[in-house]
Amino acid sequence: MAAVDLNSHPGHLARRLQQAHHLLWNTMVSEEITSPQFAVLNTLVAEPGLDQRTVGERVGLDRSTIAEVVSRLIRRGFLDKVRDPQDGRRCLLRLTDDGLRAHRKLTVRTARMNQVFLAPLSAEERTLFFSLIQRVTDAADELRAPADDLVAHP
């Protein structure tokens, strides 16, 4: 059997893309705050006072991963959990002053990193690149539908 061309395998290319992003993130943005942690901070800047489940949905993290990310951000002093005044059983996430400062610093660094990351592409290619990646990730999100939905809609 002949070897396959891995450059025609989206998973292989996505992994290589993620490796490049991870390297740039660690060298240009932060070794202490991860990209998913930044995504949580950023989501709470855009929409303050969301609950953990909603933040996880916004940034594409499953329940156990968002729980760990939130716990780490709380331990670092970047987030607080507060009781929802309308529903005492529910906790809302709130950025602390340290969290806001970290977000501001990281935002500048991520902008620089993205310039380096996307440097091989023209402005038009960047627009197409984002459009295509968004279409694929949106379709992948639909594949994660609950098992009941998959059975009900064969």
Which residue has tokens 């002093």? 77
- Helix, strand, coil share (%) of the chain residues, nearest 5: 70, 5, 25
Q: What is the pLDDT of residue 148?
A: 43
Q: Return mean pLDDT, the chain.
A: 91
Confidence of residue 150 (pLDDT cuts 50, 70, 90): very low
Instruction: Please tell me the distance from the alpha carbon of residue 121 to that of residue 126, in angstroms, as a whole number.
Output: 6
The residues pairing with 51 across neighbouring beta strands, listed in sequence order, are 92
Q: State the amino acid at position 97 in one-letter form.
A: D
The answer, yes or no, to whether residue 154 has pLDDT greater than 50, is: no
CATH of 27-119, one of 3.40.50.300, 3.40.630.30, 1.10.1040.10, 1.10.10.10: 1.10.10.10
Domain spans in the chain, listed from the N-terminal domain onward: 27-119
The whole-angstrom separation of Cα 67 and Cα 37 is 11
CA pair distance 129, 131, nearest whole angstrom:
5
What is the mean predicted confidence (pLDDT) over 83-93? 88
Q: What percent of the chain has pLDDT over 70?
A: 94
Provide mean pLDDT across the span 40-50. Answer: 96
- Res. 147: pLDDT tops 70: no
Residues in the chain: 154
Look up residue 89 and give its two tokens.
Answer: 């059983």
pTM here is 0.86
Question: Is it the case that residue 110 has pLDDT exceeding 70?
Answer: yes
Is residue 116 over pLDDT 50?
Answer: yes
Residues 6+ apart with CB under 8 A from 51: 84, 90, 91, 92, 93
Q: Which residue has the higher pLDDT, 118 or 90?
A: 118
